[in-house]
Amino acid sequence: MASLIGYYSLIFGFCTSLLIILISIKNFKNTNVFNTRIISLTFLQFLFVVISFLGLILSFVNSDFSNQTVFNHSHTTKPLFYKISGTWGNHEGSLLLWLLVLTLFIFLFLLKSKEQIKKYRVLTLLFQQIIVIGFFVFLIKSSNPFSNIFPVPIEGLGLNPILQDPALAIHPPILYLGYVGSSIIFSSSLAATSLNNISKEWAKHIKPWVLISWIFLTIGILLGSIWAYYELGWGGFWFWDPVENVSLMPWLALTTLLHCILVLEKRLVLTSWVIILSISTFTLSMSGTFLVRSGILNSVHTFASDPERGLFILIFLFSLIFLSLFIFFSFHKVENQNTKHFFWLSKETSILINNWFMMYFLSVILIGTVYPIFLEVLSSEKISVGPPFYNKLIIPFLIPFLLAMAIGPKLKWIKSDLRDRLYLILFLVISLLLSGLIVNSLDISFLTNTILITAAFYLFLISLRDFFMNKFENLSQNVAHFGFSLLILSILFNNIFSTEVITNLKIGETFHSEKFKINFEKIEQNDKQNFKSLTGKFNIEDQNGVIDVLEPELRIYNQPNIVTSEADIKTNMITDKFMTMNLVRDQEYFNIRYQIKPFMIWIWISVLLITFGGIISLLKKKYEN
């Protein structure tokens, strides 16, 4: 019954979209007053999608295996929390969640844009409804979450065990809030371009939506990174996995757009940049959906699906791109020639330079992600692009990027000079000395690491100074930039000071190294709700005689029958001690991986600081200085 209600609610929601479009077109042509019935219909559309989504949740909770989506991704022994999160832990359910957020955002947009002109509101709604209808058609025709099975199976196939985790349960909804937020920016920018309404007032109006999308996308990426760190057992925070990359690319575009919006608020410049970035951000979000849902990418957290589904998204995406480019080239008027030139030493120029760097980083990640796909299509040759590729192309440009990020905020709008900024030179010297001392004491590449650490320290010290000297002036910018400098330093020190040991041990054996010894004490076995647990107990003693007890775990799930490795992590404010164990096939040995990862917690804290900077900016009522 829940599935039936959910399916018909989806149909009714689609019909409401068609009705909204008809009334909106009539309202756009015939009157200067916004038809309030449109808001009521938009709420009704949202309500239908909510009912549909609740219908799918109830089907999972009740283990209704007559529903094919439930059969493929659930099981009666699965805990209730993961039955609910399993609703969006699959292809069909995740796209229904996309649709839910799409309809919610356009309803909220109409409520929050009452002071805007009627034609702008109606056009934004029309562009958004084109996207909404695309998802309705996709769900109803090729990815129906309410397809039936007959005869009804007794049991389901179960959810992938590595997806049965609290962080990953909340990661997709938050990430989708970021992705779908970019659709409002996209629709709004197309509407404003069509009406030649790209202005300071429009920038002020759209900026909160940019910030909301950016904040949710940042938190979503953070949760995914934390999950991958402790769940996959790789012992790191970022692996340049293709699905990680497709979430990072719209974040880079959105960050660039946010800085351009700040300039547009002050001066009527960078209008072309703003429109292009608005289109690019949404395009990258949709491309990520296409790459993940089509099964093209080879990743631990893609959803293997019928490629025909990906083809639908691809055609739909190209249609949206063609529409947006047609509107851009047909309606956009370049800003006045007298206002678009910048003095070489100004805040506008610094933001533009940083935007060029961000676009370069985005291009590198895009090439590294899609090049293996095209190579396989053209030559049937499979390759993987890993950290060495990204490090070689990104790190050299990260250095001037950090320096520009440190100096840029100290400049003034329109025209500036640095005669009263002598402390910038002093901090550069201090940063160089600090990095030289650190690198000189280590057996690592001197030149590259010295310059990179210097640039990171430089941004860190200048951001830290701003906290004490400027008090609450530009607080959001100071917090976000300080968080970014802390992130870069934490990543650098994490890479430089990390220690790893991989060995095979039997129960009762001890591994010795120069810095510590690992004693494999015992194994404990326990039966849980839907898996058996094998928990190892290891005593790790360092040079100072300090003993840590780590208890990594193996989980043997009953449905699907999969063995997963659960890391045990001891965290303090300086270091993470990380251990995983795996069975060695047909032997009594266990493969043990022990890592010491300095400054891991500061990576998470720094991203939270960056996000907090965005939240402060969202809550502010006046412009940044």
- Domain ranges in the chain? 1-161, 499-600
* Residues in the chain where the model's pLDDT stays below 50: 300-304, 337-339, 622-625
In this prediction, residue 192 carries a pLDDT of 94
Look at the block and give the residue holding tokens 């040759």: 381
Which residues, in sequence order, are CB contacts of 401 under 8 Å at separation 6+?
354, 357, 361
Residue pair 65/149 in contact (Cβ under 8 Å)? The answer is yes
CA–CA distance, 291 with 373 (Å, rounded to integer): 10
| Token pair in block for residue 54 | 């609740």
In this prediction, residue 337 carries a pLDDT of 42
485 by DSSP, 3-state: which?
helix
CA–CA distance, 518 with 497 (Å, rounded to integer): 20
In this prediction, residue 308 carries a pLDDT of 64
CA–CA distance, 230 with 166 (Å, rounded to integer): 12
In this prediction, residue 146 carries a pLDDT of 92
- The DSSP code for 542 is E
Instruction: Report which of 115, 127, 160, 146 is spatially closest to residue 53, judged by C-alpha positions.
Output: 146
In this prediction, residue 278 carries a pLDDT of 95
In this prediction, residue 445 carries a pLDDT of 65
Handedness of CA 13, 14, 16, 17 (dihedral sign): positive
CA–CA distance, 293 with 91 (Å, rounded to integer): 6
pTM of the predicted protein model = 0.90
CA–CA distance, 258 with 201 (Å, rounded to integer): 15
Strands 516-527 and 531-542: antiparallel
Q: Which amino acid is at 28?
A: F
CA–CA distance, 7 with 18 (Å, rounded to integer): 17
In this prediction, residue 387 carries a pLDDT of 86
Burial class from Cβ neighbours inside 10 Å (0-12, 13-18, 19+) for residue 321 reads middle
CA–CA distance, 211 with 216 (Å, rounded to integer): 9
In this prediction, residue 89 carries a pLDDT of 81
